[in-house]
Amino acid sequence: MLPIATIESLDHDGHGVAHVDGKTLFIDGALPFERVEYQSYRSKATYENADCTRVLEESFMRARPRCPHFNVCGGCSMQHVEFNAQVAVKQRVLEDNLIRIGKVTPEVVLPAIYGPEWGYRHRGRMSARWVARKGSVLVGFHEKRSSFIADMTECHILPQRISVLLVPLRGLIASLSICERMPQIEYAGGEDVDVLVLRTMDPLTAADEALVRDFADRHNAGRALPLQFWLQPKGPDTAHPFYPLDAPRLCYRLPEFGIEMPYKPTEFTQVNPGINRVMVQRAMRLLDPQPGERIADMFCGLGNFTLPIARSGATVLGMEGSAQLIERAIENATHNGLDHRVDYRMANLFDLTEASLTALGKFDKMLIDPPRDGAIDLVKSLNEDAPSRIVYVSCNPATLARDAGVLVNIKGYTLKAAGIVNMFPHTGHVESIAWFEKTGPGLSREEVAALDAAEAEAREAAKAAKKARNAAAAKAKADEEAARVARKAARLAHYLANQAAYDARSAKK
């Protein structure tokens, strides 16, 4: 009989959290207030990861997954959670991280930004693989906790017009001479065109090219948006249009700001264009850029926030670590007639110092939109001449909370507001936005040094305590083993000392 647990809460990945015999359990597929049977697949000293095998008492949060591949495909982890409950869980994850990691609380919790729960994903990298034992090609996302590709025939988070192509794409790739040398298909959906990028490890033959063209022609008949194939022989920079060559340019638009953003299908853009529009609007309301202000857009990408800021009349410095994205950002500024208000520079923002940030000049305001690692070097480099307002867009609530702790507890900012952006429904991914206002002086260098020293001392003390606990546990284990060996030796000695009597007793029987 499998063990039973009562679920107390959800973690940030949508796993049910329970406590049994002093261990924390993370149970995939279980929801708060449920009693479930579970089976562990990973066991550590203080926690276990497990799968829910049977729900004994069902939660009010439980929903019926729409996709038949849920629980096999690793693309979604929360389809079994009612949609509004997903949003509430993500908001709680953000607030818990801010309190627990950053020791900060927002003055206002912003209403969650959310939109349609299905068909939202306008970017996706699907794997493709020839499976000899099946005699066919699989196209889709990886299975949960596996390198195998899920046997998918539909996907409900992709637009329907792309989902219906999954099975036909299997047939197309299987028909190509290089079917074993095409490991992925990348999808990018724009305002006017859908692009599929075929990763070709070997060149297509003339016959292969004819098959791809025929596929495009057949599936473009009566299609709302044209379908265009690109080929990518090597790295992302090598991707180029293949067919049809007269398709519209890939782009997304921010109509509220009169912005059109052309991009290549292998370049980073937000997965959910509808939510991105609302997120940019909120960021602009919080930042409130004014004509004549000088504003920094850190981790600017291709200009998703830079150009709306510039449209307000402010002057913007956009900084980014990717040369390709900086090149695209410059082109987009010119395309939108805003190049006179924008200056772009390439820089490693994970290596900023107070001196290098100060050398950029004074900024009235700043927008920060970092990757999952956050912007700790940037926020630590802010000095007393720091921007009066910072809007921070985050894709990782843990690093946002860490950086918020520095801004509030060291740099003299107040966390005025924060809230989530449900960019990725049915997944545990939490996007969020926070507004910080400079309301007081920061700590002096001496105070920061003392704080760092105290934190370092606390870390060392924690490490020493953990080492002592481990040593005590190891000693207890060794003592227990020694006692076991001693008991065994004593039993053997007793037997040998009394062997004659035992033998005589046995002979009488």
Q: Helices (H), strands (E): how many in the chain?
A: 12, 22
Residue identified by tokens 């889709």 is: 140
Q: Which amino acid is at 339?
A: D
Those residues whose C-beta lies under 8 Å from the C-beta of residue 245, and which sit 6 or more positions away, are none
Strand partners, 295: 316, 365
Q: Is 300 marked within a binding site?
A: no
DSSP state of 87: H
Q: Is 76 marked within a binding site?
A: yes
Q: Is 304 marked within a binding site?
A: yes
Distance of alpha carbon 23 from alpha carbon 413, whole angstroms: 38
Q: Is 270 marked within a binding site?
A: yes
- For the record, the structure tokens of 377 come out as 């070097």
Q: Is 348 marked within a binding site?
A: yes
Catalytic residue among 179, 251, 300, 395: 395
Show the CA angle centred on residue 240, arms to residues 236 and 246, nearest 5°: 150
Q: Is 155 marked within a binding site?
A: yes
Task: Yes or no: say if 36 and 52 are a contact pair by the CB < 8 Å rule.
Answer: yes
Task: Yes or no: say if 18 and 25 are a contact pair by the CB < 8 Å rule.
Answer: yes
Q: Is 369 marked within a binding site?
A: yes
Q: How would DSSP label each residue in 342-386?
A: EEEEE--GGG--HHHHHTT---SEEEE---TT--HHHHHH--TT-
Show the CA angle centred on residue 55, arms to residues 50 and 60, nearest 5°: 110
Strand partners, 345: 319
Distance of alpha carbon 110 from alpha carbon 279, whole angstroms: 12
52 annotated active-site: no
Those residues whose C-beta lies under 8 Å from the C-beta of residue 148, and which sit 6 or more positions away, are 142
Q: How would DSSP label each residue in 284-349?
A: HHHH---TT-EEEEET-TTTTTHHHHHHTT-EEEEEES-HHHHHHHHHHHHHTT-TTTEEEEE--G
Q: Is the bond leading into 159 cis (omega within 30 degrees of zero)? A: no
Q: Which residues are annotated as a binding site?
A: 67, 73, 76, 155, 270, 299, 304, 320, 348, 369
Q: Which residues are annotated as a binding site for [4Fe-4S] cluster?
A: 67, 73, 76, 155
Q: Which residues are annotated as a binding site for S-adenosyl-L-methionine?
A: 270, 299, 304, 320, 348, 369
Catalytic residues: 395
